[in-house]
């Protein structure tokens, strides 16, 4: 089952972004809502962030995924965090990020939550198909990020796009 799942994810993520969005839109009516987790290392005073390397593996991203039908965003965020990294938190352990919802072009909305966990006692468990690797990264020395992750992190003043003009700059006015 694991090789088949890995092949399916690999194939999906090799498709052009427009084709991937088209496929997702066929499965999700009208708009797409995702849940995202910004998980910081409490042992490092919040200066390290949990990132995932997923197919096709060209950049690192945040634990995130689409909500299931009628699923509360905070429940979906906790579920995706556990499915992708092995980190199990209760929904009440998550707090809404500010801003909590990021509306992207073409009908995509990310609902973002934050949490802090101690790296010293946190064990990652990845499946090797949907997620290749989970690791802590210093905020001042982030690895290559996916474009979507870099744009999302910029809303929170994190990463390579944090100082560049963009929609997130309006939030500071």
Whole-structure pTM value: 0.80
Question: Model confidence over 134-148: pLDDT tens digits?
Answer: 999 999 999 999 999
User: What residues have CB less than 8 Å from 157, skipping those under 6 apart?
Assistant: none
Question: Model confidence over 69-125: pLDDT tens digits?
Answer: 899 999 999 999 999 999 999 999 999 999 999 988 777 899 999 999 999 999 999
- Cα-Cα end-to-end distance for the chain: 50
Domain 2-139's class? alpha beta
Angle between helices 17-27 and 2-14 (to 10 degrees): 120
Collapsing DSSP to helix, strand or coil, 12 comes out as helix
Whose tokens are 């839109």? That residue is 25
**Annotated domain spans of the chain:** 2-139
């Amino acid at each position: 089952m694991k090789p088949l799942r890995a092949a399916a994810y690999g194939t999906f993520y090799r498709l052009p972004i427009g084709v991937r969005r088209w496929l997702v839109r066929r499965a999700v009516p009208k708009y797409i809502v995702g849940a995202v987790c910004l998980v910081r290392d409490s042992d490092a005073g919040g200066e390290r962030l949990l990132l995932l390397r997923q197919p096709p593996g060209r950049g690192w991203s945040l634990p995130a995924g689409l909500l299931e039908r009628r699923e509360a965003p905070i429940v979906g965020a906790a579920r995706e965090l556990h499915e992708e990294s092995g980190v199990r938190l209760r929904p009440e352990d998550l707090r809404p990020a500010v801003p909590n919802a990021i509306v992207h072009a073409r009908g995509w909305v990310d609902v973002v939550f934050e949490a802090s966990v101690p790296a010293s006692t946190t064990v990652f468990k990845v499946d090797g198909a949907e997620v290749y690797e989970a690791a802590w990264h210093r905020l001042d020395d982030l690895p290559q990020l996916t474009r979507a992750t870099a744009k999302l992190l910029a809303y929170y003043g994190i990463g390579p796009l944090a100082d560049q003009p963009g929609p997130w700059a309006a939030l500071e006015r």
